[in-house]
Amino acid sequence: MKICVLVKEVPDAAVHKRIDPSTGRMDRGGEKTLNPYDTHAIEAAMQIKESGGVQVSEIIAVTMGPASAVRALHKAVSLGADRSVHLSDDALAGSDVAATGYALAQTLKRESPDLVLLGQQSDDGECYTIGAVVAEHLSMPSLTQVIKLDLAGDELTCERQAEYGYDTVKITTPAVISVGDAINEPRYPSLKAIMGAKKKPLDTLGVGDVEIDAGKVGGEHSGARWTSAKAPPQKASGQIIEDEDTAETVEKIVAWLDERKLI
């Protein structure tokens, strides 16, 4: 079985995010890190491999993004992926979620995976829809936000929380599964794995290498046009107390509640 894990480089959550006023798009400069949800997807792949229930031949990390996104691949490899694929092309810049999913699906076709895993959402655009787009282009069944995943032969048993409680779904591979953060506790990479990550095989591909129709990707060809970013109605910001003396802090909270007749 071959497992591909889709990963993404996202702005570090601890760093303030901003919109580029000239384009209305998120400024993706600044500090970047591997999408934390994706570490759970890599861990899920590793646990399938290590459980020994099915023979896993390879775990491949796949990303789309600018040259800097290679760092997310290095991190993915340090967490256990055997090699990585980097789709990077100026023609892809500004792609919306539908175009991005199409481009990733074309890249995945080259690998013919039996299972595609990804994190349920990325921290920057919250586009927890990409798995469904990729699955559709690959004609594979898919499920998002999975928190328990068991594999027996070619049958996946998945659990997830949906609108009315927990659902259990059985799916035949090949399939695209996005996982939630409750699925596992990702391991920390060893120093050796971090040092060795840059030596693992990395394929860098452009749109021409994976038969992407350039007329279907990029900001100019995406079906949804994201226009101006405007400021929302301003809400008065709340009061903030830094707790130094807890007795004093509690006194302030009680006074605040009392003033509003909440106690």
Partner 1 sequence: MSDILVYALHYDGAINKNSLGAVAEGARLAKQIGGEAHAILVGEDVPADLAASLGEYGAAKVLTAQAPDGLAQPVVDAMAAAIGAGGYGYALFGGGLLGFEIGAGLAARLDAGVAMEITTVRAQDGQLIAERPILGDSAISEITYRSDVGIIIGRLNAFEITKDGAGPAPVETLSFTLSPQAARARIVTRGEQRGADVDIEGASVLVAGGRGLGKKEGFQLCDDLAAAFGGSSAVAATRAVVDAGWYPYAAQIGQTGKTVAPKLYLAAGISGAIQHKVGMMGSENIVAINKDANAPIFEFSDLGIVGDLNKILPKLTEAIKAHKGG
Residues 153-172 that bind partner 1 (CB under 8 A): 157, 161-172
Residues 7-26 that bind partner 1 (CB under 8 A): 13-14, 17-19, 24, 26
In the bound state with partner 1, the residue whose beta carbon lies nearer, of 18 and 198, is 18
Going by the DSSP 8-state scheme, the letter that residue 82 receives in this structure is S
| Six-digit token string for 6 | 């889709």
In the bound state with partner 1, the residue whose beta carbon lies nearer, of 81 and 179, is 179
CA dist 226 to 95, 219, 220, Å?
10, 9, 10
| Six-digit token string for 263 | 């106690």
| Six-digit token string for 97 | 């979620």
C-beta of residue 124 within 8 angstroms of C-beta of residue 31: no
DSSP string of 54-97, one letter each residue: S---EEEEEEES-GGGHHHHHHHHHTT-SEEEEE--GGGTT--H
Binding mask 114-143 vs partner 1 (x if CB under 8 A, - otherwise)?
A: -----------xxxxxxxxxxxxx-xxxxx
Residues 85-114 that bind partner 1 (CB under 8 A): 96-98, 101-102
* C-alpha span between 4 and 60 (Å, rounded): 5
Query: Least Å distance between CB 199 and partner 1?
Result: 35
In the bound state with partner 1, the residue whose beta carbon lies nearer, of 90 and 242, is 242
Query: Least Å distance between CB 30 and partner 1?
Result: 13
Q: Which residues pair with 172 in a beta bridge?
A: 155
Q: Does 235 interact with partner 1 (rule: CB under 8 A)?
A: yes
Binding window for partner 1 (CB under 8 A); candidates: 1-9, 42-50, 200-208, 217-225: 217-225
Total number of residues binding partner 1 (CB under 8 A)?
A: 83
In the bound state with partner 1, the residue whose beta carbon lies nearer, of 25 and 200, is 25
* C-alpha span between 181 and 204 (Å, rounded): 29
* C-alpha span between 103 and 217 (Å, rounded): 7
In the bound state with partner 1, the residue whose beta carbon lies nearer, of 50 and 258, is 258
Query: Least Å distance between CB 77 and partner 1?
Result: 27
